[in-house]
Chain A
């Protein structure tokens, strides 16, 4: 544990001196809370209550799910459906910016070799580097969600909309799926980081991890997909399996010599 703690401590000491990372870690969450709240605020006041859901311009697949709700509520829920994905992006983006730098950064400063010469095991090293990226990602996304919920309460959203935000599928998404996605993004970023020689390349390649999430987002936008509890449970199971597989694979792929010498 001492080794892992040391690595986490070291990563944070370095990362929090990096202006780019700090910017990402503060601006992004701000944006991600402000944007949904502003949009909810606008839809809260502008839509006439009695308008039927069908005419609100929502995809037909979605409108069906709106039975019993007013058009305003339905629009808000439709919007929320997409913000949910925005929230899911945070635990991907923040760890990626940290983890992408983690190995390649040590290569460019040549500190990797003395580090690998210490008795730290490869697993400890990767765990330390991984946790140093996952922990801030999870804390920030939980925090952002918390602030978002408080904001929603202050906006005076209707009980139907509020209960949607605090529904099991949302809670599972933010509290469970988010951290799992963080782990996936981090392992991927560390893997990329160990194979390239340029921190910027590491950052760019690692951020492709967000593409599958974008696909889901487009599907939702196009009304082809509704995020509900079933979808969430399946997503959690699938990503947990992927994360587990990547962890297993990681312990096989990573060995000292490869990290130290196999990169272009």
Chain B
């Protein structure tokens, strides 16, 4: 659904536009139909710039992209018809009512039955009761919900969500997150940026970690495995020093460490190896209390990637 090849954006900045700022450098990626893709990166990484390029708001300096099957730069109007965008700041017409705001956009998107669509999304996002109130009187969360409704009013196949939950309270964030999950089940393609890595881990099929360049791209689980391998902890009632060597002797077990009365083992395929290790330990007289996997959070992966990238640049 989204395919970019060498997408690059260079801004000219400074008084005389003399300095070049590379906001996005040679970005190539592909997002499949129905996928939720998380675009992660620190402040100023170029995420919003990428979203703006892919929605035809600003022109790439180099490279090309296809969005919803249309060529960026050549068929922008078609792209705009087929994508919805939740911009970084919701940007509503404050003096107009929620209903009027949606009606305007429904008309601009050539929605066939404006009233029906507007009513549908007002009630879907829990704004029905407040539809006649001006947006100026709305809380941040309500504005964000209205902005989500606006992004969806024309039933786009692809949705770009730029920080959909930033600044929302836990409950409002959850509403928006649940809504994104619902959209996913409807088979829409979602390209979202977020600073909430927990959220990215829960929602996204794949994530790209990005800072000017794409640092890595994969599902959160494979990223974890790739970067940290998988580690299993065996909690024992008592630990005997000889068991470290015993476990280390089992094929596939690496870096066996003893920590208090626990054995920490790196394994490529714990599903296969764990029973074998447990059996060996039990035979040696160990009492296994429980077995767990150490899961690195996406946050740890993210920090590791971004920090090593920064070290590389320095």
Contacts and interface: CB of A to CB of B under 8 A. Distances in A.
User: Are both chains from one complex?
Assistant: yes
A8 to B, nearest CB: 11
B91 A112 contact: yes
B110 interface: yes
B184 interface: no
Interface residues of A, number: 29
Contacts of B108: 3, 6-7, 115, 118-120
A119 to B, nearest CB: 4
A118 B58 contact: no
Contact of A6 (B59, B77, B92, B104): B104
Contacts of B56: 117, 256
Contact of A117 (B55, B90, B92, B104): B55
B105 A256 contact: no
A14 B104 contact: no
Contacts of A116: 57
B261 interface: no
Contacts of B93: 10, 13-14, 109, 111
Contacts of B90: 110
Contacts of A17: 95
Nearest to A17: B95
A5 B109 CA distance: 13
Interface stretch (B79-87, B270-278, B281-289, B300-308): B79-87
A111 B89 CA distance: 9
A114 B94 contact: no
B81 A119 contact: yes
A14 B107 contact: no
Given A9-B104, A14-B95, 15 more contacts: A3-B108, A10-B104, A13-B96, A18-B95, A110-B91, A111-B91, A113-B52, A117-B56, A117-B80, A117-B87, A118-B109, A119-B77, A121-B77, A257-B59, A260-B52
Interface of A: 2-3, 5-7, 9-10, 13-14, 17-18, 106, 109-121, 256-257, 260-261
